[in-house]
A and B are shown apart, each in its own frame.
Chain A
Amino acid sequence: MVRLVKALWRGYTRMFSGWTRIALAALLGVVLGVGGFTVYYSGVTGYLGDDPATCANCHAMDEQYEAWQRGSHHDVATCNSCHAPHDNLVYKYINKADNGFWHSLKFTFQNYPENIQIREHNREITEAACLYCHGDFVDQATNSSTHKDETVSCIRCHDGVGHMR
């Protein structure tokens, strides 16, 4: 694999000589530079972390962020506590990447509804997050429903514990 890449690169670079080479290199450098700056300027690196302020980088999440600051879970949970999976780190970042991709796409093109709505698999992640902390306490409620293949939804009633919408 490495050899193949090396061979390709050699073949490719041999095609150019003199000024063309320099010009193309310069152009590529411009693209990489602009790209690098765009990444930095969009604050995208912050999304690798857990700081809720990052989630309000775009004003799309202003309401949720402000409501979380006034919410009952403010001192014990960040955005990721409820909106990122707890089962393993790899899945957490896959999920963050998935949501990040859609969020930035929709925000860039301003193509999202007035009241944003959670997608089904993300709702399930949130429901699981409730149980991650409160599972022992609500054992009876969840057990009595799971053996009947039902799931009691926490946020159907306990709506707005994280942030009133």
Chain B
Amino acid sequence: MSTEREDAAMEDPKVDAPDPDDAGAKGDGKKKSRSGSSRKLVPALVLVTVAVAAGALTWLLTTIFEHKQESAASFTEVVELTDTSYDPAVWGQNFPIQYEQYRKTIEDTDGDFIAVTPTDEDPREYHTISRIESETRAQRMWRGYAFAVDYTEPRGHEWALVDQRYTERTGERFNQPGTCLNCHASMPEVYDELGDGDREAGFHAMNAMSYDEAYEHASSSIACIDCHDPQTMELTITRPAFIDGIRKAKAAEGVKDYDVNRDATNQEMRTYVCAQCHVEYYFAGDSKTLTFPWDKGLTVYDAMDYYDEVGWTDFTHEESGAELLKAQHPDFETWSQGIHATNGVTCADCHMAYSRVGANKVSNHQIMSPMVSDETINASCLTCHHSTAGEMRERVDGIQTRWQGSLNVSFTALDALITDITAADADGSATEEDLATARDYQRKAQFVIDYSFSENGRGFHAPAYSISILNQATDWARSGQLALRGVDVENGIGPAIPEQHMPDAGN
């Protein structure tokens, strides 16, 4: 056992310390010249050395024992969870590991927190950096809408409720409805309270309230019960808007009467629970019902067609007068157009990768970017990609840099279009008809750019698709500029010679 030898070696200097001349001498003859005091020291040293070795060995023995015990890890039900167990801390008694990880979503994993001075209006000590300051063209495209006032980088679930409460977008002047709360607080409790146990009724009651009034009913940010069945721990959908939305999306694919809680596989649920919120949405009608624009399908063009059909507009641009749509973080829809979706890789596979706890695997409930560190890249990407963390980082960086380049081109075009429409409107250099055409082009281009810009994957969730829609947006924006000059442009016309994608041996 090497421990003994090492310990003895560590003690060596002490052996020699009282008698430096003796250093390194080990001969028999030398021993006789040892002083009496150092002779007495030897048994003491041997005793210490042996005791340390015995301690180290016992420790090693117990760790081996513990690791063997881990293989037989068990689950202890401390409390019984029911449909009204709303408090995540109570769930934490049964699932301490998951709960501890879940609370860690408060941490700054992306390194974009900034310290600010708390005020009476906004008691937060940290914000994330502003996205409208770092991309001023985004601020310009939202002029006339709340997003031009305050829009910051996203952060962990633990912040969802406070950040929404204190953003200027939910301030008095914008008079937001209770609908906003659907995704920023734990809902089952609020729905039960407002609907008297009928969650669907509670959903509608909350949508009809003012934001401030609805907020009073919320007691927690996103919690366990939002995604898990309290009895079985199965993943479950709690948001009416998604149940309705995915039914429509499936119907568009030809699947009739899709009931997500009945029909979805567990693997699909590992995406769907996230898709309850990480999607594009709007508040339909006077009832302000949270609605996902999926009747025609899940692409950005499907959403745009839907909005045109129902005649939806979010706001009128302050400068150009165009009637515009606001897109919001369509993470799920974008992912669904990408290669990972095709391969059945879910949100949880990358954002909640398994972590080793003893001999058990635990889905990491500290939901975050997989790119945070070499450890997270290893746990997420390297499960399927037999590569290195460095290589993965380079690949993602390449995808996101190319997307950033395309986004930049699109923003430049859109910004130029806004300038041109505003100028043409002011000096009368374009006909009303051409102005209307140009404004429609702005609506189209801006929706797509906003869609990609507001999406949290920076192009990664579906690289080719993201670049392709931005390409279309740039064309639309430039077409709008040409329209102002009386030039008719045809968009979306296919190539003169149809591309033959695949060899066809007449099969």
Residues of chain A having any CB pair with chain B under 8 Å: 7-8, 10-11, 15-16, 20, 24, 27-28, 30-31, 34-35, 37-39, 41-42, 58-59, 62, 107-108, 113-115, 117, 159, 165
Query: Distance in Å from the Cβ of B93 to the closest Cβ of chain A?
Result: 25
Q: Residues of B contacting A39 with CB < 8 Å?
A: 1
Q: Is the interface of B mostly helix, strand, loop or mixed?
A: helix
The residues in B between 91 and 116 inclusive whose CB is less than 8 angstroms from any CB of A are none
Name the contact of B50 in the complex, choosing from A8, A28, A115 (C-beta under 8 A): A28
Q: Does B355 contact A (CB under 8 A)?
A: yes
Give the docked Cα–Cα distance between A42 and B39 (Å).
Answer: 38
The total of chain B residues at the interface (CB under 8 A) is 38
Number of A-B contacts (CB under 8 A): 79
Query: Distance in Å from the Cβ of A29 to the closest Cβ of chain B?
Result: 10
Give the docked Cα–Cα distance between A147 and B46 (Å).
Answer: 61
On whether the beta carbons of A58 and B67 are closer than 8 Å, the reply is: yes
| Stretch of B52-60, B82-90, B427-435, B453-461 at the chain-chain interface | B52-60
Q: Residues of A contacting B50 with CB < 8 Å?
A: 24, 27-28, 31
Jot down 7 A-B pairs with beta carbons below 8 A, ordered by A: A10-B28, A62-B359, A108-B60, A115-B379, A115-B382, A117-B388, A165-B386
Q: Tell me the nearest residue of chain A to B382, going by C-beta.
A: A115
Q: Does B423 contact A (CB under 8 A)?
A: no
Q: Residues of A contacting B145 with CB < 8 Å?
A: none
Q: Tell me the nearest residue of chain A to B364, going by C-beta.
A: A114
Q: Is the interface of A mostly helix, strand, loop or mixed?
A: helix
Give the docked Cα–Cα distance between A34 and B67 (Å).
Answer: 18
Name the contact of A34 in the complex, choosing from B47, B54, B354 (C-beta under 8 A): B54
On whether the beta carbons of B61 and A115 are closer than 8 Å, the reply is: no
The residues in B between 331 and 362 inclusive whose CB is less than 8 angstroms from any CB of A are 353-356, 358-359
Residues of chain B having any CB pair with chain A under 8 Å: 1, 4, 26, 28, 31, 39, 42-43, 46-47, 50-51, 53-54, 57-58, 60-61, 63-65, 67, 70-71, 353-356, 358-359, 374-375, 378-379, 382-383, 386, 388
Q: Tell me the nearest residue of chain B to A30, going by C-beta.
A: B54
On whether the beta carbons of B61 and A114 are closer than 8 Å, the reply is: no
Query: Distance in Å from the Cβ of A15 to the closest Cβ of chain B?
Result: 6
Q: Residues of A contacting B65 with CB < 8 Å?
A: 41
On whether the beta carbons of A35 and B43 are closer than 8 Å, the reply is: no
Give the docked Cα–Cα distance between A58 and B67 (Å).
Answer: 8
On whether the beta carbons of B375 and A114 are closer than 8 Å, the reply is: yes
Give the docked Cα–Cα distance between A30 and B51 (Å).
Answer: 10
Q: Residues of A contacting B64 with CB < 8 Å?
A: 38, 41-42, 108
Q: Give 10 closest A-B pairs by Cβ, nearest first.
A: A114-B379, A59-B359, A115-B382, A113-B378, A7-B28, A11-B31, A35-B1, A27-B50, A38-B61, A34-B57
Q: Tell me the nearest residue of chain B to A108, going by C-beta.
A: B63
Q: Residues of A contacting B382 with CB < 8 Å?
A: 113-115, 117
Q: Tell me the nearest residue of chain B to A63, going by C-beta.
A: B361
Name the contact of A24 in the complex, choosing from B46, B374, B386 (C-beta under 8 A): B46
Give the docked Cα–Cα distance between A102 and B63 (Å).
Answer: 16
On whether the beta carbons of A16 and B379 are closer than 8 Å, the reply is: no
Q: Residues of A contacting B70 with CB < 8 Å?
A: 59
Q: Residues of A contacting B356 with CB < 8 Å?
A: 114
